[in-house]
A = this chain, B = another copy of it.
């Protein structure tokens, strides 16, 4: 069966994401490989591989030279890298790279204990403390990431060594938490979604059962972390077990109604829940997922798809609290929202889930990486104020330019594994229907399903035209295609061979069928008119303000394009917005927007009894994902609107 449906089958060589695939392969993954091996001069030590080497030595000889180094979840960096490499290898075979991966996997196997337990922190440093601190110690989290890597590696390379290792670890966990009845649930959810993958990769029911176990016990004994803390005499960072909202454990998951706490943990949990709900048909669990997804997207999500409003705990805060300049909006959390929305789309076929995937992908996630792939943002604010952003005590986290990416290792490999597996989100198959969720150019091999290949050609998101071509093995191939109609597209045209297609529009998808041959073409024309976006007035920060969107892209104004100052700018209500031609040389190829607006004359006085003098002007906007690539300057997504 397998978990990956499209990564191996969808070749992304060109277009908007073709550039990103290549960037990840050529820049991001190699850089991280050297980082994991501590081969980058001047960079913070990773020690990841070295930790595994020491654990292997200790298992072999009973002792090891050197000391564990890094975060308690350091192992997960290797896992996420391996997962990204696996996806990349399926697109770009590389025997040398694969050989190096195989060696690392062998090392991981040697670091596994007799009973299946695998975690270098505990094996090397704290052998007596394993499983005593689920709230902080990330054992299940690390296991989850390595399980994902194992499933990905097996499916992309056909090599099952890591899968076997991780089945042994999963069996160890199953024994402890199911058979022996040990209490507890992970402080950082991740293993739930990973076990669902492992279940699909191996077909073994016990992994689904284990995933459901962790989902079902969560919050039932909501005092678990407090009890655990009372029993143990050590701590990683002295997290407060009484803050149950923070750990998504105040009530059982089926009763949870608000997305709370650490944003990445929350959406990883909900991803596992949605996957399990689909797999088991558990209507109550599905309902909880729906409630939580609605709470996020209607009360706790930035227009960029960023989630988690506060640096404090990298967390969700309260409904309708979406400050722009102090936003956390972690890149990883937006990636998690894509995971969650993707599973929701399997659970309930509705284009709104794909809309949110696309919103997060093209805006918050892509903004997380410098356009040249060398630097990363963890935090993705919607307003940058030089002199304040990154400098005021309240804004230390909201850096105005991307730092070098190797200081911490969580977001960069997450971006890498998402971009190399974007096929899984772009395409779904359900029953006999192929769902085209995201319009990513490439060729999809559906020989097994529909007797041929389908290629999607487009310059999207900068062009409104998407065409599907067919390469049947025989004369024609039977195709059932559901094309997403994005929520932002006012008018969408679908044609088959130039004629309006006979298709049914339902819940954000256009369903069409046909037997198509090599000369047939399905054309989709989206409406890429610029849309002005307004926020509900419940969100205090955005009252009286407007943002610009074109297609999936949220735009922003940077100082560098606007005479150095965007704070004195406002947009004209009902004013025109022009779209530039495609500028291949600017920011790796974009279209700018030029909006009718006003510029205030800025005086010296802080407060004035005179309304500011304004002059009509043109305001230049660039896509949000390209901000911060030209040095320190002001940036603003939401701009005041005036007559």
Point out residues on A near B: beta carbons under 8 Å: 297-299, 301, 303, 309-310, 312-313, 315, 317-321, 323, 325-326, 383, 385, 387-388, 391-394, 488, 531-540, 543-546, 549, 565, 567-568, 570, 573, 600, 602-612, 636, 640-643
Contacts and interface: CB of A to CB of B under 8 A. Distances in A.
Contacts of A301: 606
Q: Is chain A's interface secondary structure helix, strand, loop, or mixed overall? A: loop
Contact of A608 (B312, B534, B608, B642): B534
A640 B543 contact: yes
Which 8 A-B residue pairings sit nearest by Cβ, starting from the closest?
A544-B640, A643-B643, A312-B393, A317-B392, A537-B568, A537-B567, A531-B609, A321-B388
Contacts of A320: 385, 387-388
B602 A534 contact: no
Given A532-B609, A544-B640, 7 more contacts: A309-B392, A317-B388, A321-B385, A321-B392, A534-B610, A536-B603, A573-B643
Copies in the complex: 2
Given A326-B394, A388-B317, A392-B310, A607 B535 contact: yes
B394 A310 contact: yes
25 contacts: A297-B606, A301-B606, A309-B394, A310-B392, A317-B393, A318-B387, A319-B387, A320-B385, A320-B387, A321-B385, A321-B388, A326-B394, A488-B609, A534-B611, A535-B607, A536-B602, A536-B605, A537-B565, A537-B612, A538-B606, A543-B567, A544-B642, A573-B643, A640-B640, A642-B643
Contacts of A537: 565, 567-568, 600, 602, 612
Contacts of A312: 393-394
Contact of A310 (B321, B393, B568): B393
A317 B604 CA distance: 19
A193 to B, nearest CB: 26
A270 B257 CA distance: 51
B609 A539 contact: no
Contacts of A640: 543-545, 640
Contacts of A488: 609
A544 B39 CA distance: 51
Contacts of A298: 604-606
A606 B536 contact: yes
B607 A536 contact: yes
Contact of A544 (B303, B570, B602): B570
Please indicate which of the listed interface residues A544, A549, A604 has the most CB atoms of chain B within 10 Å of its own CB: A544
Given A385-B540, A394-B326, A533 B608 contact: yes
